[in-house]
Structure 1
Amino acid sequence: MDTDLLRTFLEVNKTRHFGKAATNLYLTQSAVSFRIRQLEIKLGTPVFTRKRGDLRLTAAGERFVPYAETILQTWGRARQDVALTGSYQQQLTVGAASVIWEMESSNEWLEEVQTAKPEWALRTESLSRQQISNALIEKMVDVVLTSEPPKLADIQQTRLSHYELVLVSNLPDQDMESIADLPLVYLDWGTRFGVEHSRIPALQRTPVLHSHGSQAALRFLLNRGGVGFLPSTVAQPWIDAGELHIVKDSPAMANELYMVWLSTNDKHEDIEDLVTNLVEQ
């Protein structure tokens, strides 16, 4: 399978427009159309329905999207892995949800890995929570950083850090009663967080913003106002500046950040050696 066909297919799906996809890929529109036709010939079925002003995936196209994404990720990883030269002897691919990558502790951990293993090249991937288990099983990633380790056979894990989610508002002197009428910003932090959030009566309403990224939630609270949970490390600088305020008597949700991997991974011995080195640091 020509990876250029896959990239074109995914770009057309993202833009839902041949012309916009052509601009983003620095191609002519006819070249994009030709690539999609070639892909459909190889697959033996149409991947898009083409109606004036309405470009949509067919049922086959919908099913093909995750395969195209996986093939491109695997190809990119393989190309880097086999091309390691000079002082780099190993590549470690690390996956995490976008909210985890936005945490300072994740970036600090990457620096610690490079210090412990300077001969390793690092590759990071952004995953949805639904992709984490499959990414580990299919070896799309070697390790995952997560607050909710998946329940898989052969799973291994080590705790990296502790953090809290705190309930904040742009308005001062708010308590659990006064926030009932404020716009709700919901930062999607996973299943356990969702369960705990559902037990807080003052927050049971439709959120004005449902976000998978802490920076988007933060900017909304600062610019538009409201109430919502943020990681303490994200909120604290704005609390210190007087831009955000912790809601009085609100619960703080304690969380742990874990590094997880499978003992069946080809690099499991290297990963365990890395864990030992980080502990010794």
Structure 2
Amino acid sequence: MDITNARTFLEVVKTGSFVSAAENLHISQTAVSARIRVLEEQLQRPVFVRNKAGARLTPAGEQFFRFAATLVQVWEAARSTVALPPGRAAMVTIGAELSLWSPLLKHWLLWMRRECPSIAVRTTIETADRLMALVQDGTLDAAVLYGALRRPGLVAELLFEERLVLARTTSPTTTEDPIGIDWGADFAAGFRAAFPDRPNPAVSVSHGPLALDYILAAGGSGYFREGFIRPRIEDGRLEIVPNSPAFAYPAYLVSSEKTDPSMLPRIREGLRYAAADTP
């Protein structure tokens, strides 16, 4: 299958019409129609119904849509791997959740640059579910995420274990109004069990570092990764709330049967080094 046809299919789905897809792809509407016709011949099914309002997916088109994005992503991964930058002998692709990038993945990138100079690196920030899907289909060699769920063909190994602790600012204006932070379903369940009568927070943030910046500026409290806030505890701007429950927050390295076996030990070694070097 021509990947160009799959890209064109996705553009028609995104824009809802052949005309808009042609404009975005900088080709003629006739070329879009020709690519979709070839795709339909290969699938032996029509994928769009065209009308005055644009184009909508047929049942067969809806089924193909589930695979089209993966086809394009896998092709891009293969192309990137084959077309290595000058002076590089191999490519490693790794993803992580946003909250893990600083400082863990920063330390890992520096380790890779120092210890594996012949290996090119491609990185991705995504949600946990999306990362696991990308590892599963081979787009990523591995991913680092919290609370890895079991999926067929994936291997999750414990990388390190953190704690989420309740911390508050130490300024005289500090209030007990806690900020809500999205640390995943396991934390949410544990938090509700520990604080069954606590109302929903007035302010909720999905990214821990942003929540920390907020309470340092405005005062307040919230659950944070213990290692991440240690510098703020040491400089006296934060303190751990006495007698408050702490929650385990393990991080996992997720790989698949498709991961290059020669790459995985290097990824693992660098991440364990970075984890040990991360407060």
In the superposition, the TM-score normalised over structure 2's length comes to: 0.70
> In structure 2, how many angstroms separate the alpha carbons of the residues matched to 1:232 and 1:114?
27
- Contact 1:166/1:253, CA 8 A, preserved across alignment: no
Q: Is the aligned partner of 1:261 residue 2:263?
A: no
- Secondary structure of the structure 1 residue equivalent to 2:88: coil
What letter matches 2:30 in structure 1? S
Counterpart of 1:236? Answer: 212
Counterpart of 1:246? Answer: 221
Q: Is the aligned partner of 1:58 residue 2:58?
A: yes
Q: Is the aligned partner of 1:115 residue 2:114?
A: yes
- Secondary structure of the structure 1 residue equivalent to 2:67: helix
1:64 Cα deviation after fit: 1.0
Deviations 1:190-215 (A, max 9, x none): 4324534655556777xxxxxxxxxx
Counterpart of 1:74? Answer: 74
Q: Which runs of 5+ in 1 are unaligned?
A: 180-184, 206-224
- Contact 1:116/1:274, CA 8 A, preserved across alignment: no
Counterpart of 2:269? Answer: 276
Deviations 1:96-152 (A, max 9, x none): 45x457655434433433333221111234555444445434422211111022325
Distance 1:22 1:241, change over 3 A: farther
- Secondary structure of the structure 2 residue equivalent to 1:23: helix
Deviations 1:150-187 (A, max 9, x none): 3256725242574748799xxx73537xx9xxxxx884
What letter matches 1:42 in structure 2? Q
Counterpart of 1:175? Answer: 177
Q: Is the aligned partner of 1:31 residue 2:26?
A: no
> In structure 1, how many angstroms separate the alpha carbons of the residues matched to 2:9 and 2:106?
32
In the superposition, the TM-score normalised over structure 1's length comes to: 0.69
Counterpart of 2:21? Answer: 21
- Secondary structure of the structure 2 residue equivalent to 1:62: helix
- Contact 2:148/2:156, CA 8 A, preserved across alignment: no
> In structure 2, how many angstroms separate the alpha carbons of the residues matched to 1:186 and 1:247?
7
Q: Which moved more, 1:76-85 or 1:107-116?
A: 107-116
> In structure 2, how many angstroms separate the alpha carbons of the residues matched to 1:26 and 1:252?
55
- Contact 2:157/2:254, CA 8 A, preserved across alignment: yes
- Contact 2:164/2:249, CA 8 A, preserved across alignment: yes
- Secondary structure of the structure 2 residue equivalent to 1:49: strand
Counterpart of 1:49? Answer: 49
Counterpart of 2:88? Answer: 88
Paired residue total: 249
- Secondary structure of the structure 2 residue equivalent to 1:46: coil
- Contact 2:99/2:208, CA 8 A, preserved across alignment: no
What letter matches 1:122 in structure 2? V
> In structure 2, how many angstroms separate the alpha carbons of the residues matched to 1:233 and 1:11?
35
